[in-house]
Amino acid sequence: MTEQHSHRFERGTDGPKVIVVGVDGSDSSLRAAAYAGGLARRQHALLAVVYVQPVMAAGAALGAPVAETADAIAEDLIAQIRDATERVKGIFDVRWEFHTLRGDPYSGLVQAADDLKADAVVVGASEQAGHRIVGSVAVRLVKAGRWPVTVVP
């Protein structure tokens, strides 16, 4: 038997064990979190919810409390996820954890997916018009070709 055929598929044992979902508070990212939650539940996988806090250049903020705003967004996202989890407790049980990183969303999601040994990445479709020219985080993740990527509208 060749090396490539030595592994046999067994029903119920294959499938994602860790699903990373990127959230930023946008409607599409919250839909992505809901979709990823359903995948995690059906696959008995860990749902790793990742929020990447944007880092602004020192001069860009000019005294604006950027770090506090990003922390507030992260706390709000955690509260929303906990609330949604409590509403379905006993009906649907999903193992999940929340991760916050700093940087640009693409690099943060790549780092999280690598660190957590993700089997799949789920993100919401970009809601920003400029991403049609520069490329969205979702497109960049797909082009990286390191994990299956699901883009939720």
pLDDT tens profile 84-114: 666 666 666 788 888 888 888 999 999 999 9
Mean pLDDT of 122-137: 70
Alpha helices for 88-122 (secondary structure H): 105-115
Q: Which residue has the higher pLDDT, 6 or 32?
A: 32
Mean pLDDT of 117-125: 93
What does the alpha-carbon distance between residue 86 and residue 83 come to, in Å, rounded to a whole number?
Answer: 5
Rounded to two decimals, the pTM is 0.74
What six digits make up the tokens of 141?
Answer: 């993740």
What does the alpha-carbon distance between residue 110 and residue 118 come to, in Å, rounded to a whole number?
Answer: 10
Mean pLDDT of 127-141: 68
Give the class (CATH, top level) of 18-151: alpha beta
**pLDDT of 29 higher than 70:** yes
Distance of CA 128 to the CA centre of its chain: 18
Looking at residue 40, its pLDDT comes to 92
Mean pLDDT of 103-130: 88
Q: Which residue has the higher pLDDT, 141 or 5?
A: 141
Contact 108, 52 (CB under 8 A): yes
Contact 103, 131 (CB under 8 A): no
